[in-house]
Structure 1
């Protein structure tokens, strides 16, 4: 079977790029699929993650104002699909253009929309004014109209279903891309977090929390791994908060499993999450996790007081208490770490990719 994935770009260290590399490689190496990936504006080079050499990459160049951009996207998309002739198309994009694809192609080829984010995701803080809310509501309405035109709508947790009024929805979680035989000792006075320095990831909230934590526990440190951003100078923010000596920032690394093993628990303060791949990665190495109950990935992964803590979104006081609890209670860390390791096993790649395999077969056959 021939698959075509449509995604804005994969030349980055983000979760979508990692998951697509894992799934595409598995489909080729274990299930015999032919996989094509279509990006835009040279979005497939250079690659950070490893993609199988048999994957066929395509790219379209999009420029100009809104109308020129959309017209170019429409024409280029039709031409590429006519050339590739896929059996099934999978769209991994939360931009508004993704919800236009069913109208462009008119369902001549089976379409799957694979959602990796919250419906209400924001790339930056928006105004609370009436016009901002008006345009936001229009955008969300258009998303639901477009999503309902797809043959299948795939979300990553059952909680995500509640955000959408979309038929033909199926839940398929992300697969765990590594099976760690090791577990952290949970003895190092170090906490870890992983993610891009963007508004949605909420690292500004994490630093505010850490400022309060180190007052009582100045011997603990926080390591943050992720792509820095010109629009978010977290290093300067940490300096202004007076915590620069207890926070270390690192660019993305391929051997992130080793970094999890050096830490004692994991922190997530995202404003929005479609799933939270980093949570199951951390859990696979035996780390308890603390996360805000944001829309809407963490609540589908964390079990309160078992493998971590799920904190009311924005409740900084409770979050600080949870961090201090794990710092001060080693036996609780160890118990939660064991439970986290067990919880991660349900994300086995073999089981999850068989679910995808069956979905592709059913979708192709109508």
Structure 2
């Protein structure tokens, strides 16, 4: 029986890394012949996404959130002890930051380490630790798994890594019917952080004409900038913006929208855009360095806008909102494009990696 371990910062958050880890863990655990464990640095009330009962969870810290490097040495020993007990064949770091923990902790153990990078490889969460973690992964991990070909090139050029493979994220929702595109709603989903650029989206929305024609902007998420974003919308008198918390029923969110907009400053491979494709939503997105152009074929299933160009973002939202035929044409091509991200195809790539 193969044994797999995922090391992740947290399971209680609502992001793509948590969703993807849960999907792969559930797949292998339910398949049979594979033992799956997840080691989570932090402990929330419960995992946000439903986990199979066959997946065993270990927690390193009792806190919900903290600096992962506080108590660094004791954490290394805890991870090593867990690894000794499990004796896994493969150890998958969910985000290259985990390499700073797993690679030292697993020294001398016959365990194959895979570093699963979920972010743009040029983005640094810390000027020291991000580079160190990626250099460790480039040297000591068996494989680095990235989400886009651009990230593969960045790892090769910047970190001299020749152990990089590209496996995109798959569609994680089950779609029975695509959106009928009959609700005048623009949808945006994500954490309320600087990365997601909702401040720019709100500024763009203030410039749109469609908001005065019955269109609504629905921003779904939560996070540290929620109060400032709400204040921004209030100061601009934008009563056509609705803020909502994350929910498990994401399909209903997509089905009750006629357009998806993404305003991120940077991304890895945004799962929300892949889900929007699967639901047949036309897309307007900033063309940040990695991610959107792998999903959106400009002028075919959506529109790519130069990152940070708020006026252009508003213009493209208006043009799409005012052209129903174009909405349906983009939607048709979105469904075709979504075939590239079917879960069966992506799982096959992982199966080839973990033999």
Q: What TM-score, normalized by structure 2, do the two folds share?
A: 0.91
User: Deviations along 1:316-351, whole A, 9 cap, x unmatched?
Assistant: 222122111101111111000110011111111112
Which residue of structure 2 aligns with residue 37 of structure 1? Answer: 38
Deviant stretches of 4+, over 6 Å: 62-67
1:332 aligns with 2:347: no
- Cα deviation digits, residues 142-195 of structure 1 (max 9, x gap): 243112121100011112223323221111111212231212222321100111
- Map 1:35-184 → 2, pairs under 5 A: 35-43=36-44, 45-61=45-61, 69-95=71-97, 97-106=98-107, 108=109, 109-121=111-123, 136=127, 138-148=128-138, 149-165=140-156, 166-184=161-179
Q: Structure 1 residues 74 and 175 mapped into 2: Cα distance closer, same or farther (>3 Å)?
A: same
3-state DSSP of counterpart to 1:194: strand
1:66–1:226 CA distance, 2 compared to 1 (3 A): closer
- Residue of structure 2 equivalent to 1:185: 180
The CA deviation at 1:56 is 0.6
* Post-superposition offset of 1:139: 4.4
Change in 2 beyond 3 A, CA 1:66/1:315: closer
- Structure 1 residues without counterparts, runs of 5 or longer: 124-134, 362-366
CA gap of 1:248–1:68, structure 2 versus 1, over 3 A, is: closer
Deviation track 1:69-116 (CA, whole Å, cap 9, x = no partner) reads 211222111111111111100000343x53453244236310000111
Q: Following superposition of structure 1 onto structure 2, how do residues 196-235 of structure 1 map, counting pairs within 5 Å? A: 196-214=191-209, 217-229=212-224, 233-235=228-230
Alpha-carbon shift at residue 311 of structure 1 (Å): 1.2
Cα distance, 1:28–1:288 mapped onto 2, change above 3 Å: same
What secondary structure does 1:306 align onto?
coil
Alpha carbons 1:287, 1:340 under 8 Å: kept: yes
Residue 51 of structure 1 and its aligned partner are, at CA, apart by 0.4
Instruction: Indicate if the aligned counterparts of 2:210 and 2:322 stay in contact, CA closer than 8 A.
Output: no
Compute the displacement of 1:31 (Å): 5.2
Q: 1:215 to 1:54 in 2, by over 3 A?
A: closer
Q: Choose 337-346 or 100-109, whichever is displaced more.
A: 100-109
Structure 2 SS opposite 1:195: strand
The Cα shift of 1:218 comes to 4.3
Cα offset, 1:314, TM superposition: 1.2
- Once the two structures are overlaid, the 10-residue window that deviates more, 66-75 or 145-154, is 66-75
| Aligned-residue CA RMSD (Å) | 2.2
Give secondary structure in 2 for the equivalent of 1:38.
strand
